[in-house]
Every structure is written in structure tokens, then in C-alpha cells.
Amino acid sequence: MVRKAGLKDAKPIRVLIGYYSKRNMLLPRKLSDICERIRDFWVYDDGKVLGCVALHIYADDLAEIRSLAVDSGKWKKGIGGELLNACLGEAKRLGIKKVFALTLAPAFFRKYGFKHIDKSKLPQKIWTDCFICSKFAKCDEVAYLKRL
């Protein structure tokens, strides 16, 4: 049920991300941005896309888990964990040593072995997307990192 995303998944991914971005829980993503980065995405599909996540690579040893979203009617069913594990598996296969997430759900990431870190420890280039965030001046996300 977890698979790499294709272009046909871009609109359902946008809907999932849009649901959470309207609630200030995820950064909004334009359909064109999702299409450009479709190779970063994984989806959970049981005939309908019920979840998505992206593994965005920054360097040969660092990647970010981003845009993790699960249909609000399917929480607590393990979908988020399956999606996260797909990204972590891909990161390992690629030889990436560290994966981080900026999140409002720290307990979820702690459950999968991520450790809290100070955001200032992350490279500056990760902040490019922060400029489009409505909470940029008062960011309430926390950073979590997992060494692979």
C-alpha cells in the first residue's frame, strides 16, 4: 500500500497537504511544486491516496522528512509510520546518514527513534521554505533528527 508517488498522485497529495496547511500544521505546496518534486514523495494508496510524505535530500549525508500527511479519518492506523519507514528505508539505501524533521508532532517522531535537536544545528539552506510560512516570525515547530 506504500509506494513511490507518480504524477497522477500530485492532486491527491495537494489535497492532503492543503487540509493541514489550512490548519497551520504544514507548509502549503502548489501543485506545480509537488509535480516538480514528485520523485521525493511516497504515498499510501488503498485505491485512494490516504497519506503522503516526502524525503527531501539536502546533501550526501542529510535529508528531511517533509509534508507527512494522513487523511484525517485514518489517523492511528499506522499509515504515518509506514510512510515514515519507507522514507527512512530509502535514505538508508541512498547512504544518507542523518534525517531530520521540523514538526508539531514530536511524540510521533520520538516513537521512531528521532531525537530532539536545536534548530540552529541544521544548515541554513533548510530555511528557504520557511519564508513562505505564516508562522515564520513565531515558529513553533521543533527539530528532530535520526542518525541512520
The full set of domains in the chain, from first to last, is 2-147 (3.40.630.30)
Q: State how far the Cα of 79 lies from the Cα of 59, in Å rounded to an integer.
A: 27
Q: Model pTM?
A: 0.91
For residue 137, pLDDT beyond 70: no
* Residue 133 or residue 89, greater confidence: 89
**Read out DSSP for the chain?**
-EEE--GGGHHHHHHHHHHHHTTTSS----HHHHHHTGGGEEEEESSSEEEEEEEEEEETTEEEEEEEEE-GGGTTSSHHHHHHHHHHHHHHHHT--EEEEEES-HHHHHHTT-EEE-GGGS-GGGGGGGGG-TTGGG---EEEEEE-
So what's the pLDDT on residue 6? 98
What is the pLDDT confidence band of residue 17, given thresholds at 50, 70 and 90?
very high
